[in-house]
Amino acid sequence: MLRYVLTRALSLGLSLVVASLVIFAMIEVIPGDPASFMLGLNAQPEAVAALRDDLGLNGSLVTRYLDWVGGLMTGDFGISYTYRVPVAELVLERLQVSLPLALYALGLSTLIAIPVGMFAAARQGRTSDYAIMGATQLGIAIPNFWFAMLLVMLFAVQLRWFSAGGFPGWDEGFWLAMKALTLPAVALALPQASILARVMRSSLLDVLHQDYMRTARAKGLSIAQATRHHALRNALIPVLTIIGLQFSFLLAGAIIIENVFFLPGLGRLIFQAITQRDLVVVESVVMLLVFAVILVTFLIDVAYAVVDPRLRRRR
C-alpha cells in the first residue's frame, strides 16, 4: 500500500514539474519578451525596461523558472501587474467564490444523480426508466452556461425569486451568499447529474447481475437488503471514477458560469487578466487549476487502492 502511494506521489510530482515547464514555456518563452508584450506596441522603452526589472526578466530562463516555482511553493505567486497586489491575495479572495460554487454543484449533482440512477436501475425497461434516460440525454446536451441563462430568465426575471447575478460576499451572511450561488450551482449540476445518473444506473445494473448478488438473495436477503449491503458499495466505484474525471469539467464550467452571473471568482480574474495582458496572473492561476486537477486524480487513485486492494498491484 505504502509503495503504491509513493509511486503515485512520484508520478504526481513528475506531472507537476512537466506541467509547470509547459506553462512557463507558453507564457514566458513563446511571446518573446513578456514585458513588451504586456505593455503593448506603443510602450515607452523606459517603461518596458522598468517592467522587465520588476518581473525579474533579466535573469536567465533557468533562474526565472526556478524563482517562479520556488515562489509558488512558498505561496508567493508574484505581484499582479494591473492590480498591483500579490496574486496570492487575489486568488485567495476569488477562490472564496469559485471553490464553494464547484463544491455546491458537486454536492447537488451527487445528491440528485445517485437516487435517480438507482431508481432508473430498479425500474429497468419500464416507462419511468425510459423517461429518466431521455431526460438525462437532454441534460448532457444542454450547455451549462446556456441553461444558466434560462434559469436567470425564469427565476430572476420572471419569478424574481433570485437575483440575476452578483455576489454579496460571505460577510453578509452565509445564507445570502449561498442563495447567490444557488442558480449557478444548479446550472452546473444539471449536466453533471445527468452523466452521473447514467453511470450509476448502468453500474448498478452490472452489479445486480453478479453471482454474489444471487448468493446474497439465496441466503435469504430481500432485494433491498442485498442492494444495500452488497450492490451499492460496488456500484459506487465507477461513479467515483466519473466524479474524478468530471472534476476538470466542473472547474472549467464554474469558471465559465461565473460570467453569466457576474460572480467575482477565478473565472473573472483570469479573463480580465487575459484582456489586460496580465501574464503574471494568468501564469499562476493556470498552474493552480492544473495543480487542482492533478491532485484530484492522485487522490482518486489512492482512494481506489484503499477501496480495492487488487488495484495496488497494477501499474
Partner 1 sequence: MTRLPAQLWIGAVLSAALLATALLSFLWTPYDVTTLNIGAKLKPPSAEYLLGTDHFGRDLLSMLMEGGRISIAVAVLAVGIGMGVGVPLGLLAAAHRGGWLDEVIMRGNDLIFAFPALVIAILITATFGPSATNAIVAIGIFNIPVFARVARGGAMTIWTQDFIMAARVAGKGKVRISVEHILPNIANLLIVQGTIQFSLGILAEAGLSYVGLGAQPPIASWGRMLAEAQTMIYSHPRLAIAPGLAIVVMVLGLNLMGDGLRDLLDPRIRRART
Distance of CA 131 to the CA centre of its chain: 29
Nearer to partner 1, 26 or 95 (CB): 26
When the beta carbons of 31 and 71 are compared against partner 1, the nearer one is: 31
Tell me the closest approach of the beta carbon of residue 88 to partner 1, in angstroms. Answer: 19
**Would you state the torsion angle of the CA atoms of residues 222, 118, 231, 240, taken in this order, to the nearest 10 degrees?**
-160
Shortest Å, Cβ 38 to partner 1:
10
> In angstroms, what is the minimal distance from the CB of 310 to partner 1?
19
**Least spacing, CB of residue 110 vs partner 1, in Å:** 20
> What is 94-141 written as a DSSP string?
HHHHHHHHHHHHHHHHHHHHHHHHHHHHHTTTSHHHHHHHHHHHHHHH
- Least separation in angstroms between CB 270 and partner 1: 6
Minimum CB distance to partner 1 smaller for 177 or for 297: 297
Which residues bind to partner 1, rule: CB under 8 A? 11, 14-15, 18-19, 22-23, 26-27, 30-31, 37, 137-138, 140-143, 145-146, 149-150, 152-153, 157, 164, 248-249, 251-253, 255-256, 259-260, 267, 270-271, 273-275, 277, 279, 282, 286, 289-290, 293-294, 297
**CB of 139 within 8 A of CB of 193?**
yes
Contact 311, 304 (CB under 8 A): yes
Task: Tell me whether residue 23 or residue 180 sits nearer to partner 1 (CB atom).
Answer: 23
Burial 243-277 (b: 16+ CB within 10 A, else e): bbebbbebbebbbebbebbebbbbbbbbeebeeeb
How far is residue 180 CA from its own chain's centroid?
Answer: 19
User: Which triple of cell numbers denotes residue 287?
Assistant: 498552474
Nearer to partner 1 (CB atom), residue 96 or residue 124: 124
- Of 1 and 22, which CB lies nearer to partner 1 in the complex structure? 22
Q: Rounded to whole angstroms, how far apart are CA atoms 190 and 228?
A: 26
CB 33, min distance to partner 1, A: 12
